[in-house]
Amino acid sequence: MAAKNGVVVCTPLECESLEEMVTSMEKAKEEGADMVELCMASMAVPCHSQALDEIIKRRNLPAIVSFRLKSSKGGCNNTCLKVLKRAVELNVEFVEMDYEVACKVNMAEYFGSNSRIIVSNDVNGGKPSVEKLADLIACMQATRADVIKLDICVDYITDLAPIFTVLTHCQVPLIAMAVGSKGLISQLLAPKFGGFLVYGSLGGKPVPGLPSLLSLRQIYRLEYMNADTKVFGVISNPVAHSKGPILHNPAFRHMGYNGIYVPMLVDDIEEFFETYSGSDFAGFSVGIPHKEAAVRCCDEVHPLAKSIGAVNTIVRRPMDGKLIGYNTDCEASISAIEDALREREVSRNGTSHGTSSPISGRSFVLIGAGGAGRAMAFGAKYKGARIVIFNRNYERAKALANAVSGEAFPYETLEKFRPETGAILANSSAVGMKPNSDQSPVSKEALRAYDLVFDAVYTPRITRLLKEAAEVGVTAVSGVEMFVRQALCQFRLFTGGLAPEDFMRKLVIEQF
């Protein structure tokens, strides 16, 4: 049932009918669950105990039988007790009871069979403290529960830190589930901190805060995790679009490196680093909108990143725990454009002449002046291009143009702008990114004026901008190429070793 490290992956099943419950159990098994939680309170059946008998007869996985009064579809206290008692008589592996119920009943009636008792409680009302959680656990232990479960409502990712502390120190098996989108890493990192069980959602039935079963089995592979596992992650808001996890996690395993890479939905990056200051939290990719603020969070910043004013990679230096900031976007984007120009020249002329950058002397028309935009402006400037910037926030465009001795124009004039021959158009704005993939920062007609179009946006892989550039015969370079290059560089910084380039490229082709 459990993995080598003892981690059990469980899927909560909230179903109205018996047949739906049985079908969902089969699906959970197919998707890799070790256990199911049969949430009996969700069922709209005349007799819950009878339904339970039938489900247990037809089940294909070990189970938790729960009856949470708060989610009951009409079942009362009496029904709840009947169902839980019946589950004990049927020797179901785990029987879960609300703490308020456990306080009222004679618990001796529930012990003595092979079933182990989980006592669960909700924790609401702002940031939980270690003391508050520890006190609550102590009270819950008094019920003689075999396992304690806490459903915790969190507002910020930093609210999870006390949960990791209590998981590490708790003397009794503990399940801690932080509910909602900020809670995701409470499940993904639970095995590292000694969590008893991890919840994953069934395909097609997403639950905010729960990883999908398929992602647990195919991407995160928690069975490899232990207390020494180093934690890496992408700090971003939004973060769900990030492809980092599907690239870095398999690459860690491919290289035999004990690490996990998780999405981190961060609101305040400074508070994040104050909270997660231990050596376990070893490295970070930084995404929207934190790249500029990330510079202030670092103890040392690489000179290139410093001049760009944006950090997209942070590594905690093992010897002194200091945070070191880098920018891998610059080299990744500019080298992707250079290689595309060289390859085109080779295919046209049979050779690529000269050692200077093919960007040198060209106009580099940049859309956007955020973190990625700054990296590209400095990179192109360094290679000898003339920089022209359009950004929705004109003041920001002017400031960046000033820093790279370029020109800035109002965003609204991009459509009418006529660049010099041989110009490169590079989109570093978020326009065209999923879910707004029907958008493009400039019309198809206007693209004819450029020699090459690059789009930093990589979800979708072929943006509307790139599709339309190709349609009018302009060389189009995808942000996916930039993504692979910066990820390779990040992997080297994270692990201090070589990145498995062929393996990572193959993954990107298969998965993006």
Active-site residue set = 291
Q: Write down the residue that tokens 């998780």 correspond to.
A: 262
Who's near 292: CB < 8 A, 6+ residues apart? 309, 310, 370, 371, 374
Shortest Cβ 122–ligand NAP spacing (Å): 36
Single out the residue of 479, 490, 499, 508 in contact with ligand NAP (rule: CB under 6 A): 479
Q: Where are the strands (E) in 19-73, listed by range?
A: 35-39, 63-66
Nearer to ligand NAP by Cβ, of 196 and 458: the residue is 458
Shortest Cβ 375–ligand NAP spacing (Å): 8
Nearest-angstrom CA–CA distance, 374 and 359: 17
Nearest-angstrom CA–CA distance, 50 and 244: 47
Q: Supply 223's token pair.
A: 């069975």
Nearer to ligand NAP by Cβ, of 369 and 385: the residue is 369
Q: If binding is defined by CB under 6 A, does position 369 make contact with ligand NAP?
A: yes
Single out the residue of 14, 159, 329, 338 in contact with ligand NAP (rule: CB under 6 A): 329
The answer to whether 474 and 427 are in contact (CB under 8 A) is: no
Phi, psi of 407 (to 5 degrees): -120, 150
Nearest-angstrom CA–CA distance, 184 and 321: 25
Q: If binding is defined by CB under 6 A, does position 393 make contact with ligand NAP?
A: yes
Q: If binding is defined by CB under 6 A, does position 392 make contact with ligand NAP?
A: yes
Nearer to ligand NAP by Cβ, of 95 and 310: the residue is 310
Q: If binding is defined by CB under 6 A, does position 372 make contact with ligand NAP?
A: yes
Q: If binding is defined by CB under 6 A, does position 314 make contact with ligand NAP?
A: no
Stretch that binds ligand NAP, among 131-139, 183-191, 353-361, 452-460 (CB under 6 A): 452-460
Q: Supply 341's token pair.
A: 């120009």
Q: At 487, is the secondary structure helix, strand, or coil?
A: helix
Nearest-angstrom CA–CA distance, 303 and 308: 9
Nearer to ligand NAP by Cβ, of 87 and 239: the residue is 239
Single out the residue of 216, 442, 453, 482 in contact with ligand NAP (rule: CB under 6 A): 482
Residue nearest ligand NAP by beta-carbon distance: 370
Shortest Cβ 33–ligand NAP spacing (Å): 33
Give the side-chain half-sphere CA count within 13 A for 82. 13
The answer to whether 5 and 195 are in contact (CB under 8 A) is: no
Shortest Cβ 298–ligand NAP spacing (Å): 17
Q: If binding is defined by CB under 6 A, does position 465 make contact with ligand NAP?
A: no
Who's near 321: CB < 8 A, 6+ residues apart? 277, 279
Q: If binding is defined by CB under 6 A, does position 399 make contact with ligand NAP?
A: no
Single out the residue of 120, 158, 187, 391 in contact with ligand NAP (rule: CB under 6 A): 391
Instruction: Output Rg (C-alpha) for the chain, integer angstroms.
Output: 27
Single out the residue of 282, 431, 499, 508 in contact with ligand NAP (rule: CB under 6 A): 431
Report the side by side order of strands in the sheet with 147-153.
174-179, 147-153, 116-123, 94-98, 63-66, 35-39, 8-13, 197-199
Single out the residue of 433, 465, 466, 474 in contact with ligand NAP (rule: CB under 6 A): 433
Q: Supply 489's token pair.
A: 């560089």
Who's near 395: CB < 8 A, 6+ residues apart? none
Q: If binding is defined by CB under 6 A, does position 511 make contact with ligand NAP?
A: no
Nearer to ligand NAP by Cβ, of 35 and 457: the residue is 457
- Residue 217 has what DSSP assignment? I
Residue 215: its H or E element: helix 213-215
Nearer to ligand NAP by Cβ, of 162 and 441: the residue is 441
Shortest Cβ 276–ligand NAP spacing (Å): 21
Q: If binding is defined by CB under 6 A, does position 12 make contact with ligand NAP?
A: no
Stretch that binds ligand NAP, among 98-106, 190-198, 355-363, 430-438 (CB under 6 A): 430-438
Comparing C-alpha atoms, which of 404, 407, 408 is closest to residue 378?
404
Q: If binding is defined by CB under 6 A, does position 288 make contact with ligand NAP?
A: yes
Nearer to ligand NAP by Cβ, of 399 and 472: the residue is 399
Shortest Cβ 483–ligand NAP spacing (Å): 4
Nearest-angstrom CA–CA distance, 323 and 91: 52
Q: At 90, is the secondary structure helix, strand, or coil?
A: coil
Site string for ligand NAP, 158-187 (x = CB under 6 A): ------------------------------
Nearest-angstrom CA–CA distance, 326 and 295: 9
Q: If binding is defined by CB under 6 A, does position 508 make contact with ligand NAP?
A: no
How many residues bind ligand NAP (CB under 6 A)? The answer is 27
Positions touching ligand NAP (CB under 6 A) are: 287-289, 291, 329, 368-373, 391-393, 396, 428-431, 433, 456-458, 479, 482-483, 486
